Structure 1
Amino acid sequence: MGRVIRRDFRKKGRNTRPTVRRQRHGPRMSLQAVSLLLILIGLSAGAVWLMFSSRQIEIGHRGKSASITVLDGDTVETSEGVFRLVGFNTPEIHGDCSEERALARRARDRLRALVTAGSTNLRRVPCACPPGTEGTRSCNFGRFCGVLTVNGRRAGDILIGEGLAEPYFCRDRSCPSRRDWCGD
């Protein structure tokens, strides 16, 4: 800020000593402008987070599946980590009955065949977990969440269409109870 010296000539006969007043330079930001700036910074930070949390991870191309390992019908492993594929659920390999275990092996084997035969793409998406726990044992058994596409189609949609999986959608921070594959 600069200093402006002004003489006060209205006070004739009195002390005509100069008075010093501060002069403001540049525009002053209003409360609305500061609020808008903070909102824009927040939105930018959110956009950056979404960009990195849902970034594309290329995990293989036609005939090459060395960068992906299918662990079961809805879980894969890449150099980026272990991913629970979202939007569908398959039976468990270590299920409660022989029918569930057999169907789980079929789902796993079918997903392996899809990954080996097609052009695959894995996109990381946010999990339905408390903030800050994604990728830890406190969230989804330490797995990240992802959507796997094979030749442009979601792997889950293919498995559901073939009767090897069921639709399964988590909301907010909770997931629905899983199907009893032995009860059907």
Structure 2
Amino acid sequence: MSGCLPSNPWITDDTQFWDLNAKLVEIPTKMRVERWAFNFSELIRDPKGRQSFQYFLKKEFSGENLGFWEACEDLKYGDQSKVKEKAEEIYKLFLAPGARRWINIDGKTMDITVKGLRHPHRYVLDAAQTHIYMLMKKDSYARYLKSPIYKEMLAKAIEPQETTKRRQVELSIIAGCLLFSLQRSKGLFQPNGCY
């Protein structure tokens, strides 16, 4: 006979975890917002992070960069039968001379992209997308992390009660270990033959 199995953590009446981690929750968790500062891909993969970054880019008058990147993602992972139409739309909106949301890419990348658009496929805009991604990563991302937009998001972020309790327990364990080490190093602790 065996003892009771632990309860399944995925089965619960408490929906707090799911509510706090919904894709576009109004106020995200502190851990989620802090994760955006790990690297640019963490920010861009998170729908709420991307939304916040888009807001920042619009304030900097460079929102078209993320718009272009998202359009390229849609082209890559969208319906195969609409690739030609989508590629043309993206060209007209972001790359054509006088485009409404024109993006700034170098001449070499533009040449590669325009040549590729003669025979469009899912990855025809990869060179331009990579250029814009690197531009956002190296330039806009660092400014975003220093911006009031990110700092305010971090300040307003929710720290679930469970996380707070866990940190308090971890800190008390660490404090106990430090005290033990200090006592042992000063010879105040005598281990009655345990070691």
Under TM normalisation by the shorter chain, which class is it?
under 0.3
> Hey, which of these two has a bigger chunk of helix by percent?
2
TM-score, normalization by structure 2:
0.26
Higher relative contact order (CA 8 A, sep 6+): 2
> Hey, which of these two has a bigger chunk of strand by percent?
1
